[in-house]
């Protein structure tokens, strides 16, 4: 019996020493102390022993039993320690995203706004932003577009429901252009004026690659003595060349706008086809980028400014279109969508 106990002790201490996982130790524990384990079965043989033998074997058996239990427990600790260390040393294979790469930046349209505002600040223009939700009179009537006049068809918009206010229906609307800022300024009766606005406008539009219900306009208005079309031409070239480079080409085309006389459309040579005609410029070879002209005398009538003394120019252009030309962006809808690929590119 004594030999058997020594044999078990020797065999299992060796096995425990070699074990390298908790799973292995669990099965060694079962093999010793489980229902049919070698240690568990030994006491069944004790009755066969003589009294003196039993007195000797009893303590020896208990000592070996405890030693093996402790050895397993100690080894368990060691294996656990090892696995923690291994985890600590393990290299992460999934790379984190560097913080720098995830830093946000200003939207392309906002960057452009800053650039243009800076450009015109240098010429002494100051910013005057008029409301987006506007009264009919500033968006239309004071701009020589009377009620029910066919020219209103050029600017269909969204009207605000004013049924809960004491306001006649149809008087409050989303402004269709930034042109609402100059009658607001002019009605103050002070000249000279040299102001600009860069902001959102809205139209009831059929949406396509070049038209959106929400878009930006940049507009300048200059009122003073001896202001002429020559000033208009200068401002247009100043802007176009600063943005598209010295070789940028533009042309003035007579165009009707109720609030200017004469009125012009300003086109810029299509950068996609260089004038040959393509899908983007609807086959014309040119991009219309602005409307402009000399402020109509009727606009002066709704102000205290004397049209005999003062003249004025106004000029409104589509910065979104301009960005499309500059960066060869084919669809205006990108400006309003949160497409990350687009946003991160610029």
**Residue (243 or 314) nearer to ligand PHE, CB:** 314
Question: Shortest Cβ distance from residue 345 to ligand PHE (Å)?
Answer: 28
Q: Which of 29, 125, 216, 293 binds ligand PHE (CB under 6 A)?
A: 293
**Residue (61 or 142) nearer to ligand PHE, CB:** 142
Residue 83, token pair as written in the block: 């696995």
**Three-class SS of 223-283:** EECCCCHHHHHHHHHHHHHHHHCCCCCEEEEECCCCCEEEEEEEEEECCCCCCCCCCCCCC
Provide the mask over 261-280, with x wherever binding to ligand PHE is found by CB under 6 A and - wherever it is not.
Answer: --x-----------------
CA 243 to chain centre: 24
Query: For ligand PHE, how many residues bind (rule: CB under 6 A)?
Result: 12
Q: Which of 29, 181, 257, 286 binds ligand PHE (CB under 6 A)?
A: 257
Tell me the β-bridge partners of 173.
134, 159
Footprint on residues 210-249 left by ligand PHE (CB under 6 A): 219
Q: Is 155 considered catalytic here? A: yes
Q: Which of 260, 290, 292, 299 is catalytic?
A: 260
Window contacting ligand PHE (CB under 6 A); options: 81-89, 130-138, 303-311, 314-322: 314-322
Quickly list H helices, the chain.
2-18, 22-33, 38-41, 51-89, 108-121, 136-139, 181-186, 229-244, 297-301, 319-327, 340-345
What is d(CA 197, CA 182) in angstroms, rounded to the nearest whole number? 9
Residue 60: partners with Cβ closer than 8 Å, 6 or more residues away:
2, 5
**Residue (218 or 334) nearer to ligand PHE, CB:** 218
Question: Shortest Cβ distance from residue 201 to ligand PHE (Å)?
Answer: 7
Q: Which of 290, 314, 315, 321 is catalytic?
A: 314
Q: Which of 16, 108, 185, 314 binds ligand PHE (CB under 6 A)?
A: 314
What is d(CA 217, CA 235) in angstroms, rounded to the nearest whole number? 16
Name the one residue in this structure whose structure tokens are 């074990």: 19
- Residue 240, classified by CB atoms within 10 Å of its CB into exposed (0-12), middle (13-18) or buried (19+), is buried
Q: Is 7 considered catalytic here? A: no
What is d(CA 73, CA 316) in angstroms, rounded to the nearest whole number? 84
Q: Is 177 considered catalytic here? A: yes
Tell me the β-bridge partners of 220.
196, 315
Tell me the β-bridge partners of 224.
311
Q: Is 194 considered catalytic here? A: no
Question: Shortest Cβ distance from residue 259 to ligand PHE (Å)?
Answer: 6
Window contacting ligand PHE (CB under 6 A); options: 1-9, 100-108, 144-152, 288-296: 288-296
316 binds ligand PHE (CB under 6 A): yes
Q: Which of 42, 57, 116, 260 binds ligand PHE (CB under 6 A)?
A: 260
Report the interface residues with ligand PHE, using CB under 6 A: 177, 179, 219, 257, 260, 263, 291-293, 314-316
Catalytic positions: 155, 177, 203, 217, 260, 314
């Amino acid at each position: 019996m004594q030999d058997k106990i020594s044999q078990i002790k020797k065999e299992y201490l060796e096995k425990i020493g070699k074990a390298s996982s908790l799973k292995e130790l669990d099965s060694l524990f079962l093999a010793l102390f489980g229902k049919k384990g070698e240690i568990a079965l030994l006491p069944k043989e004790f009755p066969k022993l003589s009294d003196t033998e039993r007195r000797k074997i009893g303590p020896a058996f208990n000592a070996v039993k405890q030693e093996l239990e402790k050895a397993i427990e100690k080894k368990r600790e060691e294996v656990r320690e090892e696995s923690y260390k291994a985890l600590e040393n393990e290299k992460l294979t999934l790379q984190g995203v560097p913080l720098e790469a995830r830093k946000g930046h200003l939207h392309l349209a906002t960057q452009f706004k800053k650039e243009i505002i800076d450009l015109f600040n240098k010429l002494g223009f100051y910013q005057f932003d008029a409301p987006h939700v506007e009264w009919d009179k500033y968006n239309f009537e004071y701009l020589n577009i009377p009620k029910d006049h066919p020219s209103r068809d050029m600017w269909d918009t969204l009207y605000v429901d004013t049924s809960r206010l004491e306001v006649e229906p149809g008087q409050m609307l989303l402004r269709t252009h930034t042109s609402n800022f100059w009658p607001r300024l002019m009605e103050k009766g002070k000249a000279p004026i040299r102001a600009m606005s860069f902001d959102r406008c809205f139209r009831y539009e059929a949406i396509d690659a070049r038209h959106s219900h929400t878009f930006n306009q940049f507009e300048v208005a200059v009122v003073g003595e001896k202001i002429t079309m020559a000033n208009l031409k200068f401002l247009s070239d100043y802007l176009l060349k600063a943005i598209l480079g010295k070789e940028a080409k533009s042309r003035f085309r007579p165009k009707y706008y109720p609030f200017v006389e004469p009125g012009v459309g300003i086109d810029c040579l299509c950068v996609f086809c260089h004038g040959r005609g393509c899908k983007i410029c609807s086959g014309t070879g040119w991009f219309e980028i602005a409307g402009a002209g000399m402020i109509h005398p009727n606009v002066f009538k709704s102000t205290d400014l004397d049209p005999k003394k003062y003249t004025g120019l106004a000029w409104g252009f589509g910065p979104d279109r301009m960005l499309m030309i500059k960066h060869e962006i084919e669809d205006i809808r990108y400006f309003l969508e949160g497409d990350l690929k687009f946003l991160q590119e610029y």
